[in-house]
Structure formats: C-alpha cells, structure tokens
Amino acid sequence: MRTALTIAGSDSGGGAGIQADLKSFAAAGVHGASAITCVTAQNTRSVDSIFPLPVEEVRAQIRAVLRDLDVRAAKTGMLYSGDIVRGVADELDGARFPLVVDPVMVATVGASLERKDFAAALSRHLLPRALLVTPNRHEAERLSGRRVRSLADARSAARAIAKLGPRAVLVKGGHLRGELVDVLLHEGEVTEYRGYRYPAQLHGSGCVLAASIAAYLATGLGLIPAIERARQRVALGFLASYRAGRGVAVINSHASVDRYEVLRAVEAGAEAVQRLVPMDWVPEVGMNLGYALPGAAGPEDVCAIEGRIARVGDRLRVGGPAGFDASRHIARIILTAMRFDPRCRSAINLKYREKNSTRLKKIGFAVGTFARGMQPEGTSTMEWGTEQAIRKLGRVPDVIADRGDVGKEAMVRVLGTEPKDVLRKVRRLVRG
C-alpha cells in the first residue's frame, strides 16, 4: 500500500478539502495521510468561518507523518496564509517525493480562502518545490499577473507561472467560456486536454483533481498518465455527483467503475450482433462494438472486440475476446462523442448503402454527416469526422453516415449510451 499526504484545510461540509482528498486517495487505492492547516465552518452554501491552526501545529503534523510513513507523493490545498506556506515549505525541504500544489484561493461558493500575503509566499517558497501546480482561471491570473479570458491567455499564463519554478503547470479551463480545455505546460511543451463542459460547477472538483494526480504519482505513474487518470476520475465524479445539502452539488470523489461490467456488456452485445445484423450490412473490413468507461480519457478506457466481428462464409463470427484498448478506431469515435455528451459511451460500425440513406431519416434518427474532401492532412477520420458531424448537427447524432472515398469504405456508425441502446438502434435500422 502506497501512501500519499494531503496538506490542506478541513471542510466541515465534507465536499472539499481534506475530506475530499482522503476519499480521492482511497478511490485511487492509496493510503491517505493528512496535515490540517485550517478548520473551516462551511457547508454547500457558505463559508461561515476560518480558523487557521498555529503554524507550529501544522509543521508538527507534517513531521509526524514523514518521520514514520513512507510518503510517495503529496499535495497541498488551502494553506491560507504566508506563515503557513513558509512552514509547509520548510518541512518539505529535502523531501524527494513529488508535490502537487493546488493554489486554493476562493471557495466554490465565492468566499475568499486566503490572506493577502498568501499568493506572494506561495510563489516564492512553495512553487519552486512543486512538480505540478493546478490553478483555475482566477488563480492563474493571480499567479501570472495577467488576465486569463481565452485559451491563448491560459497558455501565456502557464508560461509565466512556470517561471516561478514548478516543473509543470496545468491551467484548468472550467472557468473559461467555450469548449472545456485544460492547458498543460510540461518540459516546454503545451498539451491541451479537451472534455465535456458540465452545466454547473461542483464543490470539491479542484481538490479531487489535484489529490487524484498525487495519488497516481504515489502509485508510480509518471506525470502525464497521472494527469490523464485523474481527469478521468474527475469526469466520473461529475457524472456521479450528488446533493448533500441545499447549495451547490458535490463531486463524487469516491465514485467507482466496474470494468468487468463494461467488458461483459461488450461480449453480450457482440453475441447479439451475430444474430441481428444481415450480411449486406457487414463492411468488408468487419465490424466492431465499443463501450467506454464513464469519464473515459483514452483508448485504454474503451472496451471493444479484439479482431472485430467479421463474415466467415455465410455467417458472422466474433474474431476474439473483448478487451480494453482493443480497437483504436472505435475508441476514437466514442471518445470524441463523449467530449460533447459524456452519456454517449458506445458505438458500432455498419456498411453504408446509398439506398438506405432515406430510411435513416424515415426512422426518425438524428443523422450526422461530414465531407471527407474537407479533412485536413494529418488528422484522424474517426476523430475529425465524428467532431464535424456533431458540430454540423448541433448534437451527438444517432447515426453518422460516412460515404467513404477512394480506398475508404463507406460506413454507418451508430452511437448510443450503451451496447443495448446501440443494438436497439441497429435493429430498427436493419429491419426498416
């Protein structure tokens, strides 16, 4: 069992702070240790009071943990004052484990969680020690000294913050308008992570992200995979969010995913495909059925059939077992659709026939299309085409009609929430 340490404030409402951090650690499979910096009286509607612990008590907690436990990663959250920042930095001086700094300044309900000397002390004493800092728009503005209103501003702010000493900067895009994009600056390179923008902010989401990154670092993952896994956990937490009080909803920091359930759904769906799909709907390249984990971040989170479902003589045969990362093609389609609607987690490909194009609309399916001739070089048809079809229609369609091109077989791609939903649509499609 690996150990991660959180140094943060206590949230009496249980949705953020130490409480969210420890639940996130447990969900990621690591033991959580803690050093409390402040005790807050708060709930889902307000922060009523903040009581900072004496700096020596904060330092004593950190010393006690490090003296006995083999800490493999740590994260900081609400530190509140310059004195606490300096005390934490002193106690972590010489520590070899990676540190994730969440520069908490304002609560979700709008209350200030810092004293005036906090930001300057953080920049001077703790950011040079950090592997990663994870500011939102407001925090990025404070740390960089510049306005952040666009994606270009976020990139610029990340570069400015990197000059303060952290090895990597992740500017979160939740408070920016438009498409949700998190900007990572690491080793001089900028990576943009796109995701679905949920209609409301949730209490504790920043805590869950930083704590999950630290937890995955503690298990031995590198920074990039730790960030990707943590973003998946946050997406899952949004999907499983709940109301604990009468104010803002709470992110589900301890939500779990049953990978076996997803795998079994693909296997059962593939068996049903063999009985359901007529031969004249089977593409020359075969078919595949995919189903993603909630909050999937990459192909490794999408289950499909290894070897596809193909024609063998006059019958369909499943080419191999179901497995994660078994089909990059179907995974790209699903992952792109999930950026626009996280409920759309399953898809299958069928043969496209011009004579059936009118049938699609008669059935009442929402049909998306794209023009292959407009595809930029160096892009994936699965990702680019799916995105174009969604943007053109204004929503994730039931079916994407791809008329193909020279050397590219025409396809119908059916999308849905789960394999059963996809197969219901396929049944209507092939039977008219």
What is the DSSP track for 258-310? -HHHHHHHHHHHHHHHHHHS-GGGS-TT-B-EEEEPTT--SGGGEEEETT-EE
Nearest Cα to Cα of residue 101 among 71, 123, 70 = 123
Cα–Cα distance list, 5 to 26, 100, 212, 343 (Å): 12, 10, 11, 34
Tokens describing residue 194: 């796109």
Residues 6+ apart with CB under 8 A from 139: 103, 104, 105
User: Which range of residues forms the domain containing residue 163?
Assistant: 3-239
Residue 420 domain-assigned? yes
With cut-offs at 50, 70 and 90, classify the pLDDT of residue 162: very high
State whether the Cα torsion 192-331-339-409 is positive or negative: positive
Q: What CATH number has the domain bearing residue 330?
A: 3.40.225.10
Residues 249-259 have a mean pLDDT of 88
My answer on whether 219 and 300 are in the same domain is no
Residue 203 domain-assigned? yes
Residue 252 domain-assigned? no
My answer on whether 31 and 119 are in the same domain is yes
> Of 211, 239, 267, which residue constitutes the final position of a domain?
239
Residue 246 domain-assigned? no
Residue 309 domain-assigned? yes
Residues 31-37 have a mean pLDDT of 98
Q: Name the one residue in this structure whose structure tokens are 């994009």.
A: 181
Whether the predicted pLDDT of 289 surpasses 80? yes
Residues 6+ apart with CB under 8 A from 362: none
pLDDT at 412: 92
Residues 306-330 have a mean pLDDT of 91
Whether the predicted pLDDT of 432 surpasses 70? no
My answer on whether 184 and 328 are in the same domain is no
With cut-offs at 50, 70 and 90, classify the pLDDT of residue 157: very high
Q: Are 21 and 32 in contact (CB under 8 A)?
A: yes
Residue 47 domain-assigned? yes
Q: Are 78 and 106 in contact (CB under 8 A)?
A: no
Residue 249 domain-assigned? no
My answer on whether 233 and 276 are in the same domain is no
Q: Name the one residue in this structure whose structure tokens are 């709940």.
A: 242
Mean pLDDT of the chain: 92
Residue 105 domain-assigned? yes
How far does CA 280 lie from the centroid of its chain? Answer: 39
pLDDT at 307: 87
My answer on whether 273 and 186 are in the same domain is no
Helix (H) and strand (E) counts in the chain: 13, 18
SS3 385: helix
Q: What CATH number has the domain bearing residue 75?
A: 3.40.1190.20
Q: How far apart are CA 352 and CA 186, in angstroms?
A: 43
pLDDT at 258: 85
Adjacent-strand bridge partners of 38: 52
Give the rounded percent of residues in the chain with a pLDDT score beyond 70. 98
Please provide the distance, in angstroms rounded to a whole number, between the alpha carbons at the two ends of the chain: 55
| Tens of pLDDT, residues 90-148 | 999 999 999 999 999 886 666 677 888 899 999 999 999 999 999 999 999 999 999 99
Cα–Cα distance list, 335 to 200, 253, 322, 369, 399 (Å): 22, 22, 18, 18, 15
My answer on whether 357 and 321 are in the same domain is yes
My answer on whether 27 and 89 are in the same domain is yes
My answer on whether 265 and 294 are in the same domain is yes
> Of 239, 274, 292, which residue constitutes the final position of a domain?
239
How many independent structural domains does the chain possess?
Answer: 2
Residues 3-21 have a mean pLDDT of 96
Q: Give the Cα-Cα-Cα angle 178, 181, 184 (nearest 5 degrees).
A: 150
My answer on whether 288 and 219 are in the same domain is no
- SS3 annotation, 150-178: CHHHHHHHHHHHHCCCCCEEEECCCCCCC
My answer on whether 287 and 184 are in the same domain is no
My answer on whether 288 and 356 are in the same domain is yes
According to DSSP, residue 376 is labeled: P
My answer on whether 191 and 313 are in the same domain is no
